[in-house]
Amino acid sequence: MSRQKKELKKGWTTGTCAQAASRAAAEYLLTGRKREQIKVWIPAGWSLELPVEECGPVRYDDRGNVNSVRCGIRKYSGDDPDITNGVVIYSTVSMEEGDHIIIDGGEGVGRVTKPGLDQPVGSAAINTVPRKMIEKEVREVRDISGYTGGLKVIIEIPGGQELAEKTFNPRIGIEGGLSVLGTSGIVEPMSEQALIDTIEVEIKVKLAAKREIILAAPGNYGLDFLEEKWQIQKEEAVKCSNYVGDTIDLAVKHGAKGLLFISHIGKFVKVAGGIMNTHSRYADCRMEILSAAALRAGLGEAAALSLLGCNTTEDALQMLDGEKREKIIEVLMQKIHTYLNMRSGGEIKTGAIVFSNTFGMLGMTEDALELIEEYKFHCQQRN
């Protein structure tokens, strides 16, 4: 994968690790073959041959025969900044009564505590695609070996509980460990899609908890402001990063009634120019949009030109007296309202609350106050 003339390496997912570890453990258990390398076909349609670590028996029956084997596969994330890089994912495959194949999580694998996620409440956070791939591998080995009994597969990630504290898992309702993820089996380096997928999960969790109005903030500033101004806990809001447009699309897709952004002016001034991904590599025309707003507000050419020379939105706001600042903010709020509604296609009510670190709350779009009041009302009804 190439980005900015640099070749970036792909990796394999926790789901692929669990799949391969389960195959290796099942082969040792049911055929007696101990693999140093294990080949698996991943959902993307490729085959991978991965090194197997610490593969061996963990339990014997009354006759001394092996009836449980544990094997590990080390996660490799390529050039993606993933906290699970280098972690060993283990699978223990055991013989059981009956003929079912049971898949569950053990040490370091989180448990689902909120509805709206890929798995039901109470289940191990092993997503649908990895579950299917794990079952496919052990079922195939069982068929080849001639064994007809049941099998139990336990996936473990030692240290996963500590690592999970650095992820979104506690926010979205996965407690006690990491998730076993992957739809293609491959980790794409620097994947924006992974961040958007996380936003989608957060929205689905909020809606499953009967929160029809979604609150969203690009970053910690917005979350802090939400808590200080309205005593709404940070966990109540979706952290949407730079993906304003994608967040709107996902809220519409999953049937939200409304979406309210709470953002620092430095991010959302770009939305007043119709920019729906606020990362600086896509657009950094904050001062140009402020200058245009100054002209629209009737402040004149001199004021507009002076704003063009500022480095940050905070600097720009401090150059203006209260009346001029209010006039510019009024124009910005009107434009933000227009572009949010344009992106949503009018299918849901959208709004934004914009603030500054220096001046506090600067302004609200037309429907913002109604959205925050409706959100608070729904909270009271749920309580």
Describe the crossing of helices 128-145 and 14-31 by its angle, rounded to 10 degrees: 20
- Show Cβ contacts of residue 344 under 8 Å, excluding neighbours closer than 6 positions: 248, 251, 252, 259, 350
Q: With cut-offs at 50, 70 and 90, classify the pLDDT of residue 355.
A: very high
Domain boundaries, the chain: 2-187, 192-382
Q: What confidence tens digit (pLDDT) does each residue in 280-307 have?
A: 778 888 999 999 999 999 999 999 999 9
- Whether the Cβ atoms of residue 230 and residue 372 lie closer than 8 Å to each other: yes
Listed as own residue / partner, the contacts of 136-144 with beta carbons closer than 8 Å and 24 or more positions apart are: 136/19, 137/19, 137/20, 137/22, 137/23, 137/26, 137/40, 138/22, 138/23, 138/26, 138/93, 138/101, 139/101, 141/23, 141/26, 141/27, 141/30, 141/31, 142/26, 142/30, 142/101, 144/30, 144/31
Q: With cut-offs at 50, 70 and 90, classify the pLDDT of residue 28.
A: very high
The end-to-end CA distance of the chain, in Å, is 49
Q: What share of the chain is helix, strand, coil (3-state, %, to 5)?
A: 40, 25, 35
- The token pair that represents 148 in the structure block: 């007809």
CATH class of the domain defined by 2-187: alpha beta
pLDDT at residue number 173:
84
pTM of this structure? 0.71
